[in-house]
A and B are shown apart, each in its own frame.
Chain A
Amino acid sequence: MADREMITIEIDGKSVSVEKDTTILEAAQSIDIYIPALCSSELVEPYAACRLCIVEVDDGRKTKLVTSCNYPVRRPIKVYTSSKKVLRNRKITLEMMLSRWPNVQVIKDLAKNAGIEKARYQHPAVDLNPNACILCGLCMRICEQGIWENIINFTNRGAERAVRMPYDSEQPHCVGCGACAEICPTGAITMVDDPNQPYDAEMIRKAGMRITKEMIKYDEEQCDMRGVGTAHLVEIMDAYDLLPVMNYRYGKHEETPKISSDIFRKYFTKGKPDGCWLGCTMACAKAIEDFELKTGPYKGEKVLVDGPEYETLGGSSNMGIFDPYFVAEYNFYCDTYGLDTISFSTGTSFVMECYEAGVLDKEKTGGLEIPFGAKDAALELLHQIGRGEGFGLIVGKGIRYMKKYFVENFGADPDFVFDIGMEAKGMEYSEYVTKESLAQQGGYGIALKGAQHDEAWLIFMDMVNKQIPTFEDKAEALHYFPMWRTWFSLCGLCKLPWNDVEPADNAETDEPAKVPAHVQGYCEFFEGVTGKPQTMDSLIRMSEKVYNFQRVFNLKMGFGRREHDVIPYRSAGPVTVEEYESRQERYDTQLREDVGIDPTGMSSEEKVAATRKFREAQYEHLLDAVYKRRGWTNDGVPTVAKLIELGVDFPDVIELVKKHGG
């Protein structure tokens, strides 16, 4: 970010330097000067309605009264927060408020500070309610700006102004988030109904509100999920050499800026609630409206594209395509055909590499010329998959099928296609380069469903934050996080609010990767709903039962042993000389420091082989450690003791694992 212009102003004689367009109120707060403000909150845009925050500003030409909550600092000024004129006017404004709401505590307090106990006129519509609405508008602004819902607003005008729901009725669209009640300074809004009758609604609301506040306050500076959704990951992954480029060969590309979130920010529909469910304050499900399609059955029509998310963008770079229009087009058609963008893009990346390596040619693809970057061919392939025709019929069946098919029918080298065909347990890899993250290799390889990041997304902890250096650390992470993430699925909750927004002090906690404050929040959610108190361990315990049971189910279906947790070598290290040489310095250093081999004088082929030997052994060590931590045999089978401990020791389960040495 470019440096913002700084301006030095003087408040009550104290100097303070602030960024241009900071408000006077913010500037004053930053140096602990108190200005009363009833309608202001850091969670919403300034409104300047109560007029209590007036200050006197001397801009060098004249002196004027302004409201500090929304007056932007644009030149050096002198501010007086307690001048005679300020105090006189503030006092009268408070007198007017007191006259109408004589029993509202916050007004009584402010009035008393200003030196008044009673107004000098009798308000014709005096409201004696101590919890009267004082028309500050905080509730409707947080509903509009924070929750993006616009459920409540002002009705009528002048003295009749009041906060209401539309047509004074109960609104089915109100999601009951409670943000309005929470922000109300007088207690004028209360929750009257909890249709699901949870055990302790208040506990749930408090925990929810903490996340809502963090979302409104920190999201823009943290992940900006509200602005661009998961698309913000593109530039970060590229910066850390983790963005898949050309079938996971590389982790970055000079053309990445063409598909970064800055580009999509312009296309995304803004300011509309676009969460998976109403009331989600993260609302990361972005959309592009009025996108004109260039290919396929809807060519020429303007459509709404639901996305793109990070995986769809990473899938595009993986195909070597850096064109936002292509991304929107393939995103739309994958959705329309009912295809997963990850499977399509990873599968097509594999096809492209095979094409470039000579495994495929135009004849074999039915006329498609499809090297990396061939966007027209990629779209044509997509339409073929959609129609169930031609080469698309083969590609649509996935990488595991293609590998076998290419070996049997096209004479492909099995070692090569198995090294670069990025799938595990038959599922295509999602869009992260895992070569330098052993933990994430395990995350993909051991995942019960196959190579997807939903179960264990450790790449950030491992590579960006470097929080899990040892085997034991990684094994612990591969125990905790898959269990923790499974817990969300058990409860039907979204994982993103857990760690895509964090409390301001999260980094200072003992285990920042776990976001302890949020885990505590989920304990409260669970207790609030069921009445059963929870701890971090008890939540994990719930998952462990299910997770082990699932592993046994895999076993029953023929996928539950060590041999099924293998990964294609491309996900662990450089397969080709070209790949090795592109990151030669890094790999040479690792040979020297981690493997203990001096690479000097070695050919690239020899270095590839040495690296491979080391990394494959590392992966096996990791499996040993993870199985041990999980209470499984060295073949990856849950032990009888573990199943008894977890209470899933059903007779047929026990019989099955015993057969496999458990």
Chain B
Amino acid sequence: MNTNAIDRLKTLLESSSDDTNDAPVILTVHLGTCGIAAGAGKTLETVKTTLASGSVQPIELRSSSCAGLCSYEPMVSVSRNGERPMMYLDVTEDKVNDLFDCIRGVKTAEECHLQIITHDDPFYLKQQTVVFINRGLIDPESLDDALASGAYKGLASILDNMDPAEVITEITKSGLRGRGGGGFPAGVKWSSCVSAAERTEGIPVIVCNADEGDPGAYMDRSILESDPHSIIEGMAIGAYAIGAEEGYIYIRKEYPLAMEILENAIRQARDRNLLGKGLLGTDFSFDLVIHRGAGAFVCGESSALMVSMSGMPGEPRSKYIHTVEYGYKGRPTVLNNVETLANVPRIITRGSKWFASMGTGDVSENPWNGSSGTKVFSLVGDVKNAGLVEIPMGITLREIIYDIGGGIPGGKEFKAVQTGGPSGGVLPADKLDLPVDFDTLTDAGSMMGSGGMVVMDNETCMIQIAKYFVDFLKDESCGKCTPCREGLVALGTILDRIISGDGRQGDIELLEEYGQNMCETSLCALGQTAANPVLSTIEYFRDEYEEHIRDGKCGALKCKALIEYHINAENCTGCTICARNCPADAIRGNLKEPHVIDQEKCIRCGVCREVCNFNAVEVL
């Protein structure tokens, strides 16, 4: 202590290159993975070409990360004279000219068919950004941008003013709980690592879990892509608190952009003495190594992750001895999720009280007493505004889905929301007013998990959903322990026979029995939660299971074996389009006469229904 890290950081900040020009208009193309997938790279090229042609007024062109509304990518933000930006949606390369017309005022957005939203839109208004405070605003590849936005201030201040124990106390008092799904208080984890290290004389190490693998979840990827320095700073603060000098980031190979951005950020941090020996002139040293995972879902489980890091196949081990005591290569190990670590610098700079004031419960005495801060969700599925949302803990599912997400598209009804990924569960409409926090969702039979939130409309068959997750997990189970490996086969086999109309009385009970066994006896959290999608759909949609088994009917008309396509002779004009498109050659009929489907030949693909212009094809 009593060093001058803060002064050093100020010097760094002052020496930052100032490459902003005084252009009245700043145009930012959002280049997250979602944007690039939707064509943002081409949009950027076209913008550059147009600017180079000199036909437009002086504009400063910048690139940044995803702005959150992923269903409307590519997005381009335009800010005039330092005002808050307007965001143009769906700006594909062919719309770049229209965009410039709008900027010049030649045409209105409406005339160009360009949609605009601002931060006053309900999508943004109900959000509260803590980890995403810089998303879409700074260039993630620029350390100068990060420094200007306050990066590393937290690290500098603890190096100057706090001893490790004080840092742990501050994090504990903030109530920060693990964002990876477990919800374990970060401060408590850090402090048990410190005592385990003392007890075992081990050298502690800190690991960031960036092995995000839930279907439909991409919060961590977005954080890494938008603000990589927040992770580096969070890890450095954690390392200082637990007495580690080594840090690892376990990131899946499927995140090439996040990895590239992270590698770049680590290099920059090293160059400026924010990583490496003697950080910011103090005697605290810390450096980071990136470990690429090969994409196994189970490697997100802490013990499997650490085994994988050691170069072995990622298989969990029993954690009767916790990883804080016996983790990576047998050393005391703190494993925190990306989002958890991204919160750490914010808590240090703004204080634990500020953080604890957001969310539910009074966590100042005991972090288990509530859920403080915010949570990032990837809101996807049958919802109008799909994207990444950061909300204060405690707002309801309804607010997220209807106010932020804009409700269900296509005039359909809400049926269920799946939270917590494959380990979570499905919640029905009557749970929409539940506040979103760690404990409430768990009590309701689902879990907050890492933040996947899949909305389903009334055309969703819940048995199919359960089967989808069982199949996913069957592929992703490491296969080490019997209940997970064989239990998933058993669940899949029984679900299969229900879906194909061969369900038997007692099958629901059998599913429950096997599911219960998996929860109680599986080795790791993957197996212990693998039956949740089945058990929670049975809990809330038992009648749907019964309908399939007893009546041989699928209410959502999704189970092929249980439905038949028929042509309503009254509506059919005999246009033959269905017969021409049928891949099974199952439709017969003369021109201008009603057609008929041969049920023996029909494979229930639904093409006839899609192509019919007269609503003549019905599903029964």
Contact = CB atoms under 8 A, between A and B. Distances in A.
Contacts of B476: 157-158
Interface string B483-516: 1011111101110000000000000001001100
Among B321, B520, B522, find the residue whose CB has the most chain A CB atoms closer than 10 A. B520
A121 interface: yes
8 contacts: A48-B523, A51-B482, A70-B320, A92-B483, A97-B482, A125-B489, A154-B315, A158-B479
A215 interface: no
Interface in B288-321: 296, 298, 313, 315, 317-318, 320-321
B519 to A, nearest CB: 10
B313 A154 contact: yes
Given A51-B523, A89-B520, A158-B474, 7 more contacts: A49-B480, A51-B482, A71-B318, A92-B483, A99-B486, A123-B486, A158-B476
A122 B318 CA distance: 30
A158 B481 CA distance: 9
Contacts of A120: 510
* 5 closest A-B pairs by CB: A161-B479, A96-B486, A158-B477, A92-B517, A158-B479
B521 A121 contact: no
B487 A96 contact: yes
Contacts of B517: 88-89, 92-93
A47 B474 CA distance: 21
Contact of A67 (B315, B318, B475, B514): B318
Contacts of B66: none
Nearest to B315: A154
A123 B479 contact: no
A619 B49 CA distance: 104
Main SS class of interface, B: helix
A538 B489 CA distance: 60
B296 A72 contact: no
A386 to B, nearest CB: 39
B488 A92 contact: no
Interface string A45-57: 0011111101000
Interface of A: 47-52, 54, 65-67, 70-72, 85, 88-89, 92-93, 96-97, 99-100, 120-125, 135, 137, 153-154, 156-161
A544 B37 CA distance: 83
B478 interface: yes
Contacts of B492: 124
Among A89, A137, A156, A158, find the residue whose CB has the most chain B CB atoms closer than 10 A. A158
Contact of B482 (A93, A156, A158): A93
A23 to B, nearest CB: 10
B479 A154 contact: yes
A99 B488 contact: no
Contacts of B313: 153-154
Given A92-B513, A160-B479, A65 B520 contact: yes
A240 B429 CA distance: 82
A123 B493 contact: yes
A85 B481 contact: no
B493 A124 contact: yes
B486 A100 contact: yes
Contacts of A122: 493
Interface in B510-537: 510, 513-514, 517, 520-523
Given A67-B318, A70-B318, A120-B510, A156 B520 contact: no
A49 B481 contact: yes
Contacts of B481: 48-51
A89 B487 CA distance: 12
A72 B489 contact: no
A297 B325 CA distance: 45
B488 A158 contact: yes
A89 B477 contact: no
Nearest to B478: A157
Given A65-B521, A93-B517, A158 B318 contact: no
A582 B522 CA distance: 66
A612 B351 CA distance: 86
Interface in B36-81: none
Nearest to A48: B318
Nearest to A66: B320
A49 to B, nearest CB: 5
A291 to B, nearest CB: 22
A70 B523 CA distance: 11
Contacts of A121: 490, 493-494, 510
A447 B481 CA distance: 58
